[in-house]
Structure formats: structure tokens, C-alpha cells
Structure 1
Amino acid sequence: MQILNSKKSIFNGIFIIVVLLMLFNIFLLKSAILGLILAVLWLFGAVAGIFGAKFAANQSNLYQKAMGLVLGLGLIILISSLFFYLFNFNSLAIILSYLIISGIIFYLILKFDIKPKFQKNIFRFDHNIIIYLILFILALFILFYNQTNQAIRSPWEAVPVLFFIIYFLATIFLLKTKNLILLSLHFFLTFIIAVVVYKIGYGFDPFVHRAAEYKLAELGYILPKPFYYIGQYTLVVFLSKIFFVPINLIDKILVPVLAAITLPVIGYYSLNKFVNNKNLLLIAYCLLLIAVTPLFFYTVPQSLANLFLLILIFLLFNNINKYLTWFLVIIIFLIHPLAGIPALILAGVKNFKKLFYILASILIPLFFIFGSLISDFKIKFSFNNFSNLRGLFENIFSYLPFYSVYHLIYLIKYNWIILFILIIIAGIYYLIKTGNKKLLVVSCKLLVVLLINLILLSFFEFKAVIDYEQAEFVKRLGQIILLVLAPVFLLGVYYILDKINNLKAGRYMVIVLVAGILTIGLYLNYPHVDAFEKNRGFSVSKADIEAVRAINLDGAEKNFVVLANQSTAAASLQEFGFKKYYTISNAKFQIPNLFYYPIPTSSPLYNIYLKMVYNGPSLEYIEEARKLTGVARIYFVINDYWLDAKKRVGQAREIADEEFNINDKIWVFRFD
């Protein structure tokens, strides 16, 4: 007992020293290296350790750490969001949030006599583990060696085929080791590809959210205060402050790293009580990557909320108590309501009566209707989006596997719904067979409720969304439905692999089959360009950055607007944030805040830009932009990857007042 008390005293002393040193470093030293070390000890050692020991006391050490990290980050989100909504989220609020959380940790240590466990013998080193780690390091080296700041449509345009060979081999050795920590490393390798390869950044939406996070860090507030996204924004700013790491990096790695740490551990331990062969479950669990990689390889509020939602789904399979359930529901709401409402329904299915199901079945459409009434995000009823759902089934059996490897890949892609349904049926059969009908009934009720919401939502047309993005919210809800079914899906995979495993040489068949499917899934789950599928979503490039800097320098303090594509607009957000807005009030448009670049795609400036690139540059279109904004100076930007770029450059050159050339990658034309 004296030894235990001595260890507890040592831990308490170290914790107090870490807390005080962090404050000293934040206010005086401002050392990035010391800040990083101390923050890692505080978050992963104390916060994750103590919360895990308190709320997952009878679980394994790995589960405690993962669960503690989820709850710790959730508490940061809750307290930080309260400061944001009640006051401001400035440096003082960040310090107070840090002290409150540290105080809660210290209270738990003293009140409940708990201390975190520390894992011993994490690895039993054998040749399979060593080979996997070598392949893992080699794969990361290839990614970093091939990272690029050029405009690309797919990471596979920069990454060589050798990476897929190494990934396939690494997966085989992972499956042979059946090690949960290596599984987390494999999830990390799968999720981190876009973060590494896209040197400037992947996509468009992440740039918007990072710009908002920088603005929050600078001002301590965002006006008007939004009722969504703040969970992510405050978390990123908080972590950036205490880790002494730039917001840009924290934002990029948040979801990929958090998903890699938490999903393998929490999901595996939540499902292992339903199976007999724990090693085979770990192999089956790898196939979760097929479903979730597109959601978790980049950070936006929707992806972070989806991650917390998936964790909640797994925890409910593990009989988490109702207080932690509602705590996570609140956290998900603070990040993104489109995931928060399904989380509310998920929590309510087990606790409420029949009336709840009726309300829950229309809850998401009601949310959008309410949002339309209190904001400029207007909606109307339309059958168009509902007809878009048929697009999911258009390419079924379009390609046959015996023509080429690509035909096999696309046979899987275009028939994934059929494969998913078959695996779900196997999972349902397995749950019935193993006597888990009650759990199955709850899952089915939730599925029906969400499907009704999906169908009703598909009748909405969103006026602030461009035509080809109208189905975006329906698509997101569909992804959430897939997450809800993830445990049943994994148990179905387990059941199928168990049957294969019982065959002669079945163990080897399982390993090769899973490794092959994961490698094919890796290719499909990231943007890809090949003979079968084209992709026009070019990334933000170095030339985009230089172009927006040149425009900003040339424009100086003058009022101007820029007609450019989404990548160049995203570059402007990274470099200059939300710099200029114009108020538009005429018979056609009532826009209180029109951004000076054509974003979002519903912006009337974007429509003018499309006319310029599709129909050809014209002074008529330039004048349309002037009348719309009341601004005399207009910039028009054309990228070299545009289909008729040379033709459009020649046409613009004839009518423009000035021209800039960015390394023959981007042409900027000024109209005064």
C-alpha cells in the first residue's frame, strides 16, 4: 500500500510540475519544443490517462488511453465552446479552459484515488513486426519524397506504383502479427496520404475552415456567432496554443491522427465480446478502412463530427453509460449538427418511446426548415435531388473483371452497394445466430428512422448551393447511415472470413484476400484519375499562392473582385483570410456579404467566372461583375489546366488592361 501511495504521490507531483511549466512556457519562455513535450505529457499522459482510468476502469490499458483521449478532447470542446458563446475565446479563455481541465484532473486523482496505467511490453518483437515497421517507414518515406505543391487531381499522380506494392506487403505482415498498435499505425498510414502528398493542402472546404480558425485565434471571436463548427474551431485553436504548433498543421492532422489512435482500439474492444476468434476479428476490422477512409483523410467539421459519432456507435455496442452517451451527443452537436442529430436519435432509440420515433423520422428535415426560417440558407421542395439517388445504381455490372486489373477495381467500385448489403445480411444473420437479437432490433430501428430522414431530405433544394452540389447533404446523411451500420458490417465480414478461414489453407486465403481488398480500396478511396474515370478537382498549387499574392500587391488598397476557380479562391483564403466583402442590393440579388473571390459556388461571381471560361472572356461579363459589386477593377484568372486555356488566354489578352504570368501556370488579367 505504501508503494502504491508513493507512486500516486510521484504522479501527482509530476502532473503539478507539468501544469506549472506549461503556464510558465506559455507566458514567458514561449519555447516550441518545450511546449510540445509538455503538452504531450499533459494531454496523452494525464488527461487521457486519468479520464480513461476513471471511466473505463475495468478495460485494457490501450482502451483506457483511447477512451480517455476522446473524453478529454470532448471536455476541451465543451468548455472552450462555452467560453466562445458566453464571452470570447481569446488567450485568457484558452488559459482558463486549460486550468479548469487541469483542476478537474487533479480533483479526480484526489477524490477517486485513481492513476493511469502504463503499458508494459507493447511489442513482442518478432520478424513479422520488424518487417512491418520497415515497410511502414519506407511507405512514409515514399509519400514525403513525392509530396508536391503543383496542381494535381489525385495523390496517385505524384505517388508511384511502388507505394501500392509496399502497402500490400505491409498489410500482409500486419495481418500476420495481429497487433492492435500496428493496426493503429496502418490506419495512420492510410489516413495520412493526402496530408503528406498535398504540400499546400487538400480540397477546398478545409481552407475555408482553417481561415476561420486563424480568424478566431487572432480576434477571439467570430461574428455573427455560428451555431455549428465551433467545436472544431475552438479545439484546433486550443491545441495550437498549448502545443505551440501552427493552426495549419493541427487542423490538417487532427482527424487523420485522432481516427488512427481511437478507431482501432475502441472499435475492436467494443466488438470482441461478440466473437470467439479475437485474432480473426482484428483481421476483419481492417476492412473498416474500406468504408471510412474517404471520411477521415482530411479535417473538416463534418469529418470530425462523424468520427465522434462512429466512436459513439461502437461505444453503444459496448454498453456505455447514459451520461457519457449524452456528453458525446452534445460534443457532436457542437462540431456539426448534421452528425449531432443522428447522434441524438442514436442515444434516444434506447431510451424513449414510440412518439420519439415519429419525431426522429422527420428531425433532420425539420432542422433544415428551421435553419431556412432564421437564416439566408433558403430551401424549397423539389423532386430533382430525389432523382439523383438513382445515380448510385447507374454503373452496376458495367465493367467485367476479366478484361484488365482496372475492370476488376471498377467492378468493385460500382457494385459496392450490393457488396455492402450482402455483408450486412451476413452480419444480421450472425447477430441472430449468436443471440444478439435485441441489439439488432435497436440497429434496425435506427436504420429505418435515418432512411426516412434521408428520403425526406432528398426532396429539398438548397438555393445557396450550386446545381451539381445539390445532393451533398443527402450524400452526407447516407455516409452517416453507413457509419451506423459499421458494427453490423464488421461482424458480417468476420462471419464471412471465419467461413473462409475454416477451409484448407483458409488462413492464407484470408490474409491475401483482405490485403488485396484494402489495397484496391486505398486506390479508390482517394481521388483517382485513369482510363475509366476523370477528375477535374485540381488542388491548390504554388502558382495559385503566387497569383493571389500578385493580385493583392497589384490591387493594393483599391477595391477589386477576382474571377477565379475554387483552387485560386482557396489560396486567397489561406493567404489573406476573409479580407474583403461587398454588400449587394439590387432587384436580382440581396447579398449582405459577397466575398471578393467567387466563393461559395453559389456566388453570382462564380457564375460570371464560368461564363468567362466556357463562353470566352468578354467585356460584357466584366461589366456584369462591375454592376453587381459596384467595383471598377476586375481580375480574371485562368489556369493552364483549363481545357481551352490557351484560347481563353489569347482572347483575354486582347481586351485586358494588364496581364501577369505566373510561371506559365496561371495568367491573371486586370480590367480597369
Structure 2
Amino acid sequence: MTEQWKELAVQGALVAAILGAHFLNAGPLIMGFLSIFAMLTQGYALGPRLLRNPSALLGTAWGFLATLGMLMLTRGALFYAGMLLDGPGEALALAITLIAGGVWLSICRGQKTAGQKIHEPLDKEKSILSVLAISLSVFAAALIGWAAFRSGTTNAIRTPWPLLPSWVLPLIALQWTFALASAWRIRRTVISAVQIGCAMASTALLAPLLYRIGYGFDGFLHVAGERVLLATGTLLPKPPYYMGQYVFVTWLSKLMDFDVASVDTWLVPAAAAVLIPAALALVIGRERQKAAMLPALILMPLSAFVATTPHGFASVLGIAALLLCIRTEERMNSRSLPLIFALWALLTHPLVGLPVLVCVFMAIVSESALAKPWRIAASAMLAITAGFSVPLVFGAATAFGSGAGVSFHLSELTKPEIWSGLMASWVPWVGNRYALWAETSVWAEKLLPWITILFAGLGTWRATKSSRNTAVSNPPWFLAAGAAVLAAVVLKGAGDFSFLIDYEKGNYADRLFLVAWFLLLPAAVPELGRWLCKARMARLASRWAVLASVGILAAGMSYASLPRHDAVTPSRGWSVGYADIEAVRLIHEDSEGRPYTVLANQSVSAAAVRTFGFLRYHDDVFLYPIPTGGELYKLFLRASYEGPEREVMSLAGALGGSRLVYFVVNDYWWKANELSEAAEASANRSFLIRDGAIRVFRYDLDIPAQSDTSAVK
């Protein structure tokens, strides 16, 4: 029996074992063991199909990740097909994935690992330096994590930086500079990847540890949706996206017997710190002189990895897919890996996944057997399509009558103020406010996209120059990013997002600008890495300047990754505090089982979703306002700015299908005292939470106003 037939026989046995264990009602422990064993086995077999002469460990690791991606795509397909992702759905999804892997094994031939190149052993000095470098990087990340855990809070805060010790940012900067210095001295890709992973983790782990209740707003909604999916096996109505994250979080939660919220909280920070450096290390391969390319990942916006959202998770998958498209040592037999990650990103968030997927096809076409002129033309068309894919999808949604469609008024682009505003937002300039570090961080944040553009341009020029006299054509990353920028300008200047509230209408365009940044990374990271490698041979003063520049960029981008409230960047948002949770619990108890509607800000609404989930809807209106342009949120704004009149409360009760309405005022609202006085006169009863940190006003629309203040500790 040939090796290929043996592999297929093993795959068949695994499928039979998975299905048999399900029909025999095997416990979760046995099913979990069989699942991991089956995925590792398939990963081991797929490794030589994915990589060129891999080691057993490297091939199995990336084969496992490919199998994991296939499993999540299968789970997503079954979800949209109407199947419940419970016991039978779990077993069927894994069986289909194993069968698909068997088909892959039967079609593709792998290369045997025998005879592969053996790493040149490190001498004693470099062995000691390697252990020391990894140990110090891990210790620094652990020390920062300990400091963040000790500084964690359940209070509502604007910015977490005053809570942290002053040495955290310098230590983050030192991690990046130390990683570059180690790469110059030791020149081992794996060691550099571990050090950069620790440096990224030092920033990514801050939000999960500092914000004890949760960070942001969207994450609470996603966790609530994941809880419903885990409990029932489905979601109704079915969301058109986000499922790439939902099916993975629920699968991992069930497999490891972890709480959904815990898995969700750590998903993006952990995935970014592991997957992105590993992807770049894979394409660099064993070329020791290129280990200094890993610190070039400083070009990434670290703010994308501090919190788990579908957009953040899709960004991690998309960046990994794009980095795997870099042409270096030809470590991959095919482009299957980036294609799987791009499809997974598309299932998670189309705004990131769709441009990335088209760009992966662009990279595949650029390496195809087509004649060079045809390759160049096809790649250019795909690059333009990738950039404009998001507006095209929005336009198609409008044509089909979707409520989330966008109307385009292209005449708006002729207005000078549109372009002047865009140009002003792109210029890396801040006023002199005599706040050195606050301005330095803004300069780092503003300059990093331009630095990325500079090195992407240099990389594109170098690739074009080197391919003129060869049959090789390089993917037009710069063209794809430029098309995405132009598409973002169209969305920002001419897009009419009528289904969103005012301050969210620019989010889609801003995210598309971020996607354009991602699309430059395959051209910019290798070029910056080449310069960093050359800097090793520069003069001592130049080397110190390079190290200092990397450290300042790292500290500035880490500081910008979380909310700031300083002389240059005043944060307007507040996190969810424990007082918000006490308020929603008090409201629920005070209602005594009666239907009620609440007018509150997004922090209180997030606390309600965290505490009670999606408790009650009335004609698609949630009982708390969700700030996505809904009528209930508009009534909250009306009550906050114009006054909490009973007429407004009656309208809110009609929307929420209740005769009992609550109005919540947080003390950090600039009109808190004025609003509270007005509400005291119109409400039936009021409550104080934590000595006035929050005031809750009860409006019983069937009873005339009569105020009665009750203190709640």
C-alpha cells in the first residue's frame, strides 16, 4: 500500500471514529480528544502539501492551522445552511473537514521530510544568548501583564494609562529594540519571532487585564451572541457576517470547557501575538541573515489587536494571509494557507476579508503560468477590484433593497471642504501644547502610515526593477492599497449611511483606510526588514539611531492603542463600570416582572447585555438603546439634550412595548446635574447608585409624576 493510500485509510478511520463516538453518545472529554487527535493527524499529513521540505513539527503546526481554518469554514457553511451547531452538527462539521482533507491528500503530492536541510548548530555563546533573549522577552511580557493585572479596575474610566506604572511604556519600547539587537547578534528567525510575539503581547494584553468588566462596547454584544449560539446551536435572525469569530469562540469554549467571555476576551490579543510573527517567520525561513525582518512588524497598527471584535479577528487573519503571500524563500508548495486564512477572514468580517481574499488571488495570478503581459494585466484588474470591493458590495446591497445599503452622492466629491478635511486628517502635524510625550505619541501615530507608504513604495520600485528582465511579475500591492484609499474617500465623502448615527457614519471609511494600510504590508515589511538587516553593518551611531527610532515608534503606537486623555488627545468615551451593572440590576428588580424600556448611554446598555443578554425585544427594538442609529437611541439623545419630558418617555415606552420607562444619568455627563433636576420633577421615583455615580429615574406612564428618592449603596 502506498503512502498516499495509507493516509487516506487513516482519514477514513478518523471519520468513522468521530461519527461512531457521536452516535454512541461519547462524553465531551472523549469527543474533544478525538477532535484534536484527528486534526493533528490531518495536519501532519497536510504539512508536506503546504510547505516545501518542512520539519515534522513545523509541517504539523501549519497543517493543523489549515485544518482548523477548514473546520471553521465548514461550521460557518452549516450554520448558514440551517443546521444546528450542537452535537450532530459538531460531528458532521468535523467529518466533512476530514473528508475534504482526504480529497486534498488524494489530489496533491507532498514532499518527504527526509533529506531536509538541517540547521547549523549554534555555538555555545549564541546558545546562551538565545536562551537569555527569550527568557528576558518572556519575563518582560509577564512583568507588564502583572502590572496591568494589579492596576485593573471595575470603575468607569476614560483612559487606563494613569493606572499603570510609568515604566510600562519604556519597557515595551525596550522589548522591540532588544528584539532587533538580538536579531543582529543571534540571527535566528525563531528566536526573533518569539521576541516580537512577546513585544506584541505586551501591548495586546493590556486591555483584557486593565478593564475587569470589559473593554469597549461592541465586545459585549458579540459575547452575548456567542452565548446564544453556544446554548442553542444557532442565532436568529442569522447575521450576514461575524460567524468566522462566533463559530470559533463557541467551538473552543466547548472544547476547552472555558467560559465564552474568557475565550472571546483573549482571542485577538493571543492570535495576533502568535499567528502574525509565525506567518512572517515562515516566509523568511532559515535565512539567518534575514532574522531582523521580524521587527519590521512595527509597521502594523497595534490598536487593531487590543480587543476582540470580528473586525479585529478578521484583521489578524487577513494580515497573516497577506504576509504569507510574500515571495521570499519559496517555503510553500501552494497558496492554500493564505487562501484559507483569507476565506476565514471573509466569514468573520467582509470589510477586511473581501479585499484580502481578492488580493490573495492577485498574488496567485502573479505567480501563475500565464504569459507575463497577461499576468500583469490580470493582477492589476484584481488589485483595483480588491480596493473597490467594499463600495461595490454596499452598492449591490442598496440595489437589492437591503436596509444596510449605502446611497452614493458622487457630486459631494466636488466640494472643496471634503478634500481639505481629508488632507488635514492625513497631515502628520499637531499643535505645540508643551506636552512632549502626548505629542510624540501622536506624531508616531500620524507618521507610521506614511512610513509604511515610503517603504512599500521602495519595495515596489525594487521589485519592478528586478523583474524587468525576468519572467517573474510581482503582485501590485501598491495599486491595491491605492484603490482601497480611493474607495474609502468615496465612502467618506459620497456615502450616505442613513442607517447609522452621526458619529458612526465615518467608521466604514476609516476601517477601509486601515485595510489599505494592511494591503501595503506585503511590500513594506520586507523592504523595511531589508533596511534593518543592512543597519547591522552600519556605524555605531547609526545603529543606536535605528534602535531608538524603533523603540519610540513602539512606545508611541502602544500608547495610542488604548484611549488617551491628555493635552493633545482628549478621550470622550467612558468604560463600563460596576455602577452601570448595579443600575441595570436595580432596574430589573424594581420592575417586578413588568415589561420596561430604558433610556441610557452605551455603557449602561453594554452592562445590560453583559448581565442579562438579549433579554427582550419588541418589534425588533431592544429594551436598552443600542447606538447604531435606532429610534430608541435617538430618544435617549433627545432626553439628554432637550430634557427628560414625559412625552419623550411615552414615545420610548411605545417603541419598547411597555408602560414603564427608566432614564439613567451618569455623573460624568456634562449636563448631569441639570438633567437630574429636570428628571426629579417629571419622574415617579428616583434611585441613587454609589453615592450619585448614577441616578436612575422611574417613569410609570399610568401614574402621575411623584418623586421619591431612594439611596442604593
Per-residue CA deviation, residues 41-71 of structure 1 (Å, 9 max, x unaligned), is 776x556555445422424667545533431
Question: Could you say which residue in structure 2 is the equivalent of 1:95?
Answer: 91
The answer for the alignment partner of 2:703 in structure 1 is: none
SS in 2 for 1:635: strand
- 1:268: how far off? 3.1
1:277 match: secondary structure: helix
In 2, Cα distance between the equivalents of 1:557 and 1:160? Answer: 46
Aligned to 2:523: 488
Q: Distance in 2 between matches of 1:185 and 1:361?
A: 33
Structure 1 equivalent of residue 679 of structure 2: 652
Task: Decide whether aligned partners of structure 1 residues 410 and 331 sit closer, same or farther in structure 2, where only a CA change above 3 A counts.
Answer: closer
**In the aligned structure 2, how far is the partner of 1:113 from the partner of 1:276?**
26
Alignment match, 2:499: 464
Q: In structure 2, what is the Cα distance between the partners aligned to 1:177 and 1:37?
A: 39
CA contact (8 A) 2:362 2:475 kept: no
* 1:337 lines up with 2:364 in the alignment: no
Q: Is the 8 A contact 1:129 1:173 kept in 2?
A: no
Displacement, 1:374? 3.7
Match of 2:161 in 1: 156
- The SS at the match of 2:152 is coil
The answer to whether the aligner puts 1:408 opposite 2:440 as a matched pair is yes
Matching residue's letter, 1:282: L
CA distance in 2, matches of 1:54, 1:549: 55
CA distance in structure 2 between the aligned counterparts of 1:435 and 1:419, rounded to whole angstroms: 24
> What do the CA deviations read for 1:326-380 (whole angstroms, capped 9, x no partner)?
5444333222222232134213435383776776665322211222334222432
In the aligned structure 2, how far is the partner of 1:233 from the partner of 1:152? Answer: 28
The question of whether the paired residues in 1 share the 8 Å contact of 2:599 and 2:661 is answered with yes
Write the distance in 2 (CA, Å) between the matches of 1:47 and 1:139. 38
Aligned to 1:129: 134
Alpha-carbon distance, 1:483 to partner: 0.6
| Structure 1 partner of 2:697 | 669
User: Would you say how many aligned residue pairs link Structure 1 and Structure 2?
Assistant: 650
Per-residue CA deviations over 1:429-450 (Å, capped at 9, x if unaligned) read 4445655996555223323443
Contact 2:387/2:480, CA 8 A, preserved across alignment: no
Q: Deviations over 1:220-250 (max 9, x none)?
A: 2222323312222112111111111111111
Distance 1:41 1:525, change over 3 A: farther
Q: Secondary structure in 1 aligned to 2:430?
A: coil
User: Given residue 132 of structure 1, which amino acid in structure 2 is its aligned partner?
Assistant: S
Which residue in 2 is equivalent to 1:219? Answer: 232
Q: 1:579 deviation in Å?
A: 2.0
In structure 2, the partner of 1:622 is 649
State which of 62, 67, 85 in structure 2 corresponds to 1:67: 62
Of the three residues 663, 668, 680, the one matched with 1:641 is 668
Asked if structure 1 preserves the Cα contact closer than 8 Å seen for 2:53 and 2:112, the reply is no
Give the Å deviation of 1:626. Answer: 3.3
420-429 vs 569-578, greater mean Cα deviation: 420-429
Does the 8 Å contact 1:49/1:115 carry over to 2?
no
CA-CA distance at 1:533 after TM superposition: 1.3
| Distance across 1 between alignment mates of 2:36 and 2:553 | 35
Alignment partner of 2:138: what SS? helix
Q: Is the 8 A contact 1:563 1:637 kept in 2?
A: yes
The change in CA–CA distance for 1:145 and 1:16 in structure 2 (over 3 A counts) is: farther
Q: Paired residue for 2:51, among 53, 56, 59?
A: 56
Question: Aligned ranges for residues 102-141 of structure 1 at < 5 Å?
Answer: 126-141=131-146
d(CA) in 2 for partners of 1:482, 1:113: 35
Letter in structure 1 aligned against 2:393:
F
Residues 3-53 of structure 1 show CA distances to partners (whole Å, capped at 9, x for unaligned) of x9xxx99xx89x979x889969x966667xx9988877776x556555445
- Identify the residue that residue 588 of structure 1 maps to in structure 2: none
Which residue in 1 is equivalent to 2:476?
442
Q: Is the 8 A contact 2:48 2:110 kept in 1?
A: no
Asked if 1 retains the 8 angstrom alpha-carbon contact of 2:384 and 2:479, the reply is: no
Q: Quick one: structure 1 residues 626 and 77, their matched pair in 2 at CA, closer, same or farther if it must change by over 3 Å?
A: same
Deviations 1:439-480 (CA, angstroms, capped at 9, x unpaired): 555223323443443333331111111112111111111111
Q: State the 1:565 CA deviation.
A: 0.6
2: CA distance between counterparts of 1:330 and 1:133? 32
The 5-angstrom pairing of residues 516-555 of structure 1 reads 516-555=552-591
Q: TM-score normalized by structure 2? A: 0.80
Q: How far apart are 1:566 and its partner, in Å? A: 0.7
Distance 1:442 1:549 in 2: 55
CA RMSD of aligned residues (A): 4.0
Higher alpha-carbon deviation: 320-329 or 254-263: 320-329
Trace 1:236-255 onto structure 2 (pairs within 5 A): 236-255=249-268
Name the aligned partner's letter for residue 290 of structure 2.
K
SS at match of 2:618: strand
> Match for residue 577 of structure 1?
613
**Amino acid of the structure 2 residue aligned with 1:479:** L
Residue in 1 aligned with 2:390?
364
AA aligned to 1:663 is: R
User: What's the offset of the Cα at 1:507?
Assistant: 3.6
Q: 1:333 to 1:148 in 2, by over 3 A?
A: same
Q: 1:514 aligns with which of 519, 535, 550?
A: 550
For 2:110 and 2:489, locate their aligned partners in 1 and report how far apart those are by CA, in whole Å: 51
Comparing 82-91 and 385-394, the one that deviates more = 385-394
Residue 660 of structure 1 aligns to a residue whose secondary structure is strand
Amino acid paired to 1:155: P
Query: 1:560-611 CA deviation, whole Å, 9 max, x = no partner?
Result: 211011111111112222222223xxxxxxxxx1221111330122122122
Tell me, in whole angstroms, the C-alpha distance in 1 between the residues paired with 2:434 and 2:461.
Answer: 32
Instruction: Quote the residue 1:601 is aligned against.
Output: 628
User: Given the superposition, is the C-alpha separation of residues 96 and 37 from structure 1 closer, same or farther in structure 2, using an over 3 Å criterion?
Assistant: closer
Query: Which of 283, 288, 291 is the aligned partner of 2:295?
Result: 283
Whole-angstrom CA distance in 1 between matches of 2:421 and 2:34: 50
Give the 3-state SS of the residue equivalent to 2:236 in structure 1.
Answer: coil
Q: Is the 8 A contact 1:659 1:668 kept in 2?
A: yes
Q: CA deviation at 1:412?
A: 2.8
Aligned partner of 2:457: which letter?
I
**Separation of aligned partners in 2, 1:154 and 1:61:** 46
CA distance change for structure 1 residues 666 and 340 in 2, over 3 Å: closer, same or farther?
same
CA distance in 2, matches of 1:115, 1:212: 44
CA–CA distance in structure 2, aligned partners of residues 225 and 491 of structure 1: 41
Q: Which whole-Å CA distance do the structure 2 matches of 1:138 and 1:42 have between them? A: 37
